[in-house]
């Protein structure tokens, strides 16, 4: 492939500078740098945690200290995270507000910059926007509350709805799952708690926006979504972060529980700035005939490691991961999926598309596990990678274990470039090289983009389509 002109490079990269702004830091609570027992107690005191949460956090800190970094398979870049130089808790000390008028102006401005026009809000069922550690704004439409749906931040969830919360909290992703899930368990704050009662189908997607706005500040949200028998919900999460001079750590834990016949869709669009370590553990538990879908779009960050998983625990449970990753210069998108079949006739599907631009590196890492004594399990995995430049890199590392003769799995991966013929053809019809390249990249991911619901198309368009087109010419 020939070297493309700068316009082309710009066309296929995403302008991340629109998220590149910040406001003065005015934090009323600050746990300081580093992580010790004192930090944990400080967080517990500020948040007024119940005793069981305090114990939980302290146990998690021990696990975090004992766990080695997973650098025997993961990027050595992890060694550049200096846990002592990170602030683990910050809060405005404000309670979640219910009315839009009570939201501080700078937070409102943040939303403006994120591109959520006010008029769009009424189409959204509820907005749970996290400004740093605590939810700054929370608005759940009355009709949903009437149905008994709970949509609060996780702090409120563990206090006000302890009976449901404690039953599943830490059960899908145990503290000891990995070093970063242990870290999150020790210092988590913010995130959402959602409970949907049996049979309730939430028509509007629930939505939360996250931001990081303090230098060297790790953000450790904890989200728990429980959807009871026969109920359905779609949850959407979007992230942009302003650019800082030193690395920022983001390490979330998201647990989903789909009771029999329930459906959960969890949609993420993220556009971190290029210095963020984004190390996230996401997993769903699907009971009989339930469905868990992860739809994920990863853009930006220095290193993203994210492998959404589904444990199919009940007969005929279904799991799906649909993922788009774009790695630009100096970025490493290490994403994938984890499908654990634990019951008969469970099916899983993984479709992953990645684009590597400049010196960007996109990695797919997958795990499919079908143990003994099960019947009729199926997995389909497809990974496609698109390389834009000579120096772009892509890797694929799947691991598939199948025991027994009553299952079917298939894995396919391909790597390709935007073909010169294609570009030439489009140029013949009057498009510039940049526009042609942009169109090709869009075409590559188009079938997955359609998986994102209409409500989210604004964010996605902003992140992929419009930004590309805007930078042409």
Partner 1 sequence: MSEAVAPLNFEERTLESAWFAKPPRVENPELPAWYHALRESAWENFQKLPQPVRTDEHWRFANLRKLNFGEMEPAPALPAGEEQQILEQSQGLSEVSERFVFANNRLITREPAESALAAQGVICQPLERALVEHGDLVQRYFMKEAPRAGGEKFAALHQSADLSGIFLYLPKGARIEKPIEVFHWAKGEHATVFPHTLIVAEEDASAQVVEYYQSAGDDATFAISMADLLSEKGSQVKHLICQQWNSDSRHVHISSTKVGRDAFAQSGIVNLGGEWVRNECVSRMIAPGARSEMLSVGLAGGKEEYDQRTLQLHEAQHTSSDLLYKNALYDTARTIFAGLIVVEPGAHHTDAYQKCRNLMGSGEAEANSMPGLEIDADQVKCSHGSTTGQIDDEELFYFNSRGISEETAREMITFGFLNEVLERFGNEELDKLLLEKVEEEFRRMRAATA
Residues that bind partner 1 (CB under 8 A): 1, 67-68, 70, 72-73, 173, 176-178, 180-181, 281, 283, 307, 309, 336, 338, 365, 367, 372-373, 385, 387, 389-417
Q: Decide whether 420 or 447 has the Cβ nearer to partner 1.
A: 420
Closest distance between partner 1 and the C-beta of residue 246, in Å?
25
Nearer to partner 1, 104 or 376 (CB): 376
β-bridge mates for residue 218, sequence order: none
CA distance 39 to 30: 10
* Residue whose CB is less far from partner 1, 182 or 225: 182
Task: Provide the H-helix boundaries in 27-87.
Answer: 37-47, 51-66
- Pair type for strands 126-131 and 134-140: antiparallel
**Least distance to partner 1 from the beta carbon of 281, Å?**
5
Between CA 430 and CA 436 the distance in angstroms is 9
Which lies closer to partner 1 via its Cβ, residue 133 or residue 181?
A: 181
What is the nearest approach in angstroms of partner 1 to the Cβ of residue 73? 5
Measured CA to CA in angstroms, residue 112 lies from 107, 118, 119, 468 at distances of 9, 8, 12, 21
Other Cβ atoms closer than 10 A to 224: 26
DSSP 259-289: -TT-EEEEEEEEEE-TTEEEEEEEEEEE-TT
Q: Which is nearer to partner 1, 159 or 359 (CB)?
A: 359
* Partners of 126 in the β-ladder: 140, 206
Cβ nearer to partner 1, comparing 130 with 356: 356
Distance of closest approach, residue 368 Cβ to partner 1, in angstroms: 9
Report the C-alpha gap between 109 and 23 in whole angstroms. Answer: 10
Dmax (CA) of the chain = 69
Shortest distance, CB of residue 293 to partner 1, whole angstroms? 18
- Secondary structure letter of residue 452 according to DSSP: S
As measured in angstroms, the least distance from the Cβ of 8 to partner 1 is 14
CB of 407 to partner 1, least distance (A): 7
Least spacing, CB of residue 218 vs partner 1, in Å: 17
Nearest distance in Å: CB 221, partner 1: 16
The residue behind tokens 């998983």 is: 309
How far, in Å, CA of 265 to CA of 109, rounded? 29
The residues, ordered by sequence, that sit 6+ positions from 88 with a Cβ below 8 Å of its Cβ are 31, 34, 35, 39, 43, 187, 218, 220
Closest CA to 452 of 301, 269, 207, 308: 269
What does the alpha-carbon distance between residue 432 and residue 391 come to, in Å, rounded to a whole number? Answer: 23
150 or 418: whose CB is closer to partner 1? 418
- 30, β-bridge pairs: 90
CB of 173 to partner 1, least distance (A): 8
Spatial separation of the C-alpha atoms in residues 348 and 317, rounded to whole Å: 9
Q: Which is nearer to partner 1, 29 or 393 (CB)?
A: 393
Task: Compare residues 399 and 457 and give the one whose CB is closer to partner 1.
Answer: 399
What the block records as the tokens of 147 is: 């149905």
95-106 residues labelled b (16+ CB within 10 A) or e (exposed)? ebbeeeeebbee
Which of residues 302 and 407 has its CB atom nearest to partner 1 in the complex?
407
């Amino acid at each position: 492939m020939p070297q493309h002109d700068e316009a082309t490079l710009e066309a296929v990269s995403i302008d991340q500078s629109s998220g590149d702004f910040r406001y003065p830091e005015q934090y009323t609570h600050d746990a300081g740098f580093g992580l010790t027992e004192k930090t944990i107690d400080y967080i517990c005191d500020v948040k007024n945690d119940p005793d069981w949460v305090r114990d939980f956090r302290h146990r998690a800190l021990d696990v975090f200290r004992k766990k080695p970094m997973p650098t025997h398979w993961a990027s050595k870049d992890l060694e550049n995270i200096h846990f002592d130089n990170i602030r683990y808790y910050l809060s405005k000390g404000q309670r979640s507000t219910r009315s839009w008028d009570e939201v501080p102006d700078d937070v409102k401005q943040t939303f403006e910059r994120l591109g959520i026009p006010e008029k769009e809000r009424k189409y959204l069922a509820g907005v749970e926007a996290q400004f740093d550690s605590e939810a700054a704004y929370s608005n759940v439409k009355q009709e949903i509350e009437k149905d008994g749906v709970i949509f609060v931040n996780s702090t409120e969830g563990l206090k006000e709805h302890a009976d449901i919360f404690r039953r599943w909290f830490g059960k899908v992703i145990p503290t000891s799952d990995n070093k970063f899930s242990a870290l999150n368990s020790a210092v988590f704050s913010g995130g959402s708690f959602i409970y949907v009662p049996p049979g309730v189908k939430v028509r509007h997607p629930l939505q939360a926006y996250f931001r990081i706005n303090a230098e060297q500040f790790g953000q450790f949200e904890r989200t728990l979504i429980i959807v009871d028998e026969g109920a359905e919900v779609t949850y959407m999460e979007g992230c942009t972060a302003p650019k800082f001079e030193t690395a920022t750590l983001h390490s979330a834990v998201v647990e989903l529980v789909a009771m029999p016949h329930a459906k959960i869709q969890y949609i993420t669009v993220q556009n971190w700035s290029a210095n963020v370590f984004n190390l996230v553990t996401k997993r769903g538990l699907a009971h009989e005939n339930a469905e868990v879908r992860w739809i994920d779009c990863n853009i930006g960050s220095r290193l993203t490691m994210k492998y959404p998983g589904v444990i199919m625990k009940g007969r005929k449970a279904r799991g799906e991961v649909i993922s788009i990753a774009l790695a630009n210069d100096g970025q490493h998108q290490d994403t994938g999926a984890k499908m654990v079949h634990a019951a008969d006739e469970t099916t899983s599907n993984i479709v992953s598309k990645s684009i590597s631009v400049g010196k960007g590196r996109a990695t797919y890492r997958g795990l499919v596990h079908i143990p003994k004594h099960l019947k009729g399990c199926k997995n389909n995995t497809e990974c496609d990678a698109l390389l834009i430049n000579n120096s772009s890199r892509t890797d694929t590392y799947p691991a598939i274990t199948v025991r027994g003769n009553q299952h079917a799995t298939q894995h396919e991966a391909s790597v390709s470039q935007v073909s010169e013929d294609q570009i030439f053809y489009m140029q013949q019809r009057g498009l510039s090289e940049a526009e042609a390249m942009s169109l090709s990249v869009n075409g590559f991911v188009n079938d997955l983009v359609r998986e994102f619901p209409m409500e989210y198309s604004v964010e996605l368009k902003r992140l992929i389509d419009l930004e590309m087109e805007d930078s042409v010419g």
